[in-house]
Every structure is written in C-alpha cells, then in structure tokens.
Chains A and B, each alone.
Chain A
Amino acid sequence: MYGKGLRPLSIATVAAIVASLSLVFFYAPLDADQGFIQKIFYLHVPLAIVALVGFVIGGVFAIAHLRSGNSRWDAYSYVSIHMSVIFGVAVLITGSIWAKASWGHWWVWDEPTLVSFLIVFLMYATYYPFRYAIEDRERQARYASVFAITAGAFVPLNFMAVRMAQSLVHPRVFATTNGGLPGSMMLTFLVSLLAIGLLWVTLVKFELTAKSASGQLKRLRRALDAPTPGGRSRVAPEVS
C-alpha cells in the first residue's frame, strides 16, 4: 500500500538531486563574500528547512492520529520525525563544517540560529526513549502523538524567536529588500530545496513500506501460528 508510486518518486528524486548538484557547481556564481565555501549553503539550508518542516508534519499526523485513533497516522508521524532527526544530524554536521571554514570554529554558542536548531534536535532526540519507555502500544502511540504535537508547535515558535533575535551572522538572504539572493542563486537554492524535499518524501515512503511489510509479515505469522525467528511456536514445528 505504502510502496505505490515509490519507483517514479525515487526516479524524480535522483533527477532532482542531479539537477541540483549541476546547478550548484556549474551554474550558481561564486559568492562575493564567502567564495566557494558558500556552496555548502545549497545543502545545509534546504536540509534544515526540510527537517524543521518534517517535524511540523509529524505533529500534523499526530493530530490526525489523536482525532481518528487510526494507528496508520501514528506510523506516519513516527517516520516523519525519524527522518527529520536523520536530516537534523546532517544539518548539524554540515553546519559545523561551514562554521569551521567560515569562522574558524566548529561551533559558535552565541549564534541563535545554531543553538536553537540544536535545542530542537535534542528535544526530538528524546522522542525515542520517551516513546519506547511505554510498553502498551496504544498508550505509546497516544503519548508519542501528544509529544509530536507539542514539539511540532514549538518549532515555528522557535523559528520566529530566532528571526526576532536579529542576528548579524546569518543574514536574511530571502528578504526582498536590502539585497536578497540574486536570481541564479535563488533558482539553485529552490531546486536544491525541491531535491532535498523529494528525498525526504521518498525516504519516508520507503521506511513506511518496509514497516508495513514487516507488520504484515508479523500478522501473517501470528495467523498461521508460525514460529518466530529465534522463538518457538506453540503447535507448529520449527522451520529450518
């Protein structure tokens, strides 16, 4: 069910990534201030945007789960958050590399954009122990949904707080006044954002498909009363 359309989506993702990399390295001009190192921008910023949007989407799915009680929405929420955490790791690492190259430091604690993202990331890192500390499946899903909604609401608030902090280190390059991104850079950025967004959707769908297959296999095993790997069945013999 989840695997439907995965192949064309994967092809579109690969095509978008190839187009994005081509634009980054062969079309977008070198930044007058940062030079070649600014190429990290086309990876780091889309990753951050997609990760943050993914956290919010996880919260939206969690609302759907609490409203309907359908465990499918809980799976959507879990996988969205899981994928965004992985993207978050990439954001922190690529950001640190960029910081080291630009500022000479791997991490700068007085930069609100960096620290706020770290806070969001660490908050979502607690999602796993929180979720798996609860044994009852129904309660686990319900509590995880409440967490996802609360944390998902925190993400845009956090973003607005950082915008209001008026940092000088991360200039607001998407502003329409006082010099935003030039057209070629903006096009490259948008294609990169599309590529990373498609990658997120593809990987979410991929993981949902695997989870669905695993769940169906377990149900089939229970229905057939077949032995589980490493365990023994009540009535059926072991399968060699």
Chain B
Amino acid sequence: MLALLAATPALPLDEAGKYVAGAYVVFLALIVVYVAIMAAKLQRIERELRELAGFVETGANGDGQAAPEREEATSDV
C-alpha cells in the first residue's frame, strides 16, 4: 500500500477538480432523488386526502347535513 501511495502523488488541479466535482455532484444527486421520491409520496397523500374530503362531503350532503369546509379538512396537513 505504501508503494501504491508513493507511486500516486497529488493530482494536478485540473485533473483533481473533476473527481471533487464528481463526489459533490453524486451526493447532491442522491439528496435530490430522495427529495423527489418524498415529494411524490406527499403528492399521493395530498391527492388521497382530497379524495377523502370529497368522499366526506358527498356523504354529508347525502345525509342532509352541511358539508365541512375544505380548508378545515386539510388545515392540519
């Protein structure tokens, strides 16, 4: 391993730059992919909640009761 280290001195800036950029870009890409997946999940939750609010409103109207406000149903999200 020491021989390997001795044979590989520090890279010049123009060559090292792409490796450093690569490492930071990979990290950023991972975070972006994770956030995108979580955003898709949150969108699904929001859609389901909207469907559920519509379901409650339809049921409440069918029973002759006043439908709850949409804002009230979603205010905790």
Bound-complex Cα distance A30 to B59 (A)? 68
The answer to whether B52 and A217 have CB atoms under 8 Å apart is yes
Chain B 24-48 per-residue mask, 1 if CB under 8 angstroms from chain A, else 0 = 1011001100100010011001001
The answer to whether B10 and A34 have CB atoms under 8 Å apart is yes
Closest chain-B Cβ to A106's Cβ sits at a distance in Å of 11
A239 part of interface (Cβ distance < 8 Å): yes
Closest chain-B Cβ to A96's Cβ sits at a distance in Å of 9
B75 part of interface (Cβ distance < 8 Å): no
Residues in A with CB closer than 8 Å to B51 are 226, 229, 239
* Among candidates B5, B45, B59, residue contacting A210 with C-beta atoms closer than 8 Å: B45
The answer to whether A207 and B38 have CB atoms under 8 Å apart is yes
A103 part of interface (Cβ distance < 8 Å): yes
Bound-complex Cα distance A94 to B29 (A)? 12
Closest chain-B Cβ to A84's Cβ sits at a distance in Å of 13
Closest chain-B Cβ to A121's Cβ sits at a distance in Å of 14
Closest chain-B Cβ to A219's Cβ sits at a distance in Å of 11
How many chain-A residues does the 8 Å CB contact rule pick out? 45
Bound-complex Cα distance A226 to B58 (A)? 11
Name which residue of chain A comes closest to B2, CB basis: A168
For residues 1 through 49 of chain A, which have their beta carbon under 8 Å from a beta carbon of chain B? 31, 33-37, 39-40, 43-44, 47
Residues A35 and B41 in contact in the complex (CB < 8 Å), given A97-B22, A97-B23: no
The answer to whether A224 and B56 have CB atoms under 8 Å apart is yes
B66 part of interface (Cβ distance < 8 Å): no
The answer to whether A236 and B59 have CB atoms under 8 Å apart is yes
Bound-complex Cα distance A1 to B51 (A)? 23
Residues in B with CB closer than 8 Å to A103 are 4-5, 8
Q: A37-B19, A199-B31, A221-B48 are in contact. List 14 more A-B contacts (CB 8 A).
A: A43-B23, A86-B30, A89-B30, A93-B30, A94-B23, A101-B11, A101-B19, A103-B5, A108-B4, A111-B1, A203-B34, A207-B38, A210-B41, A214-B45
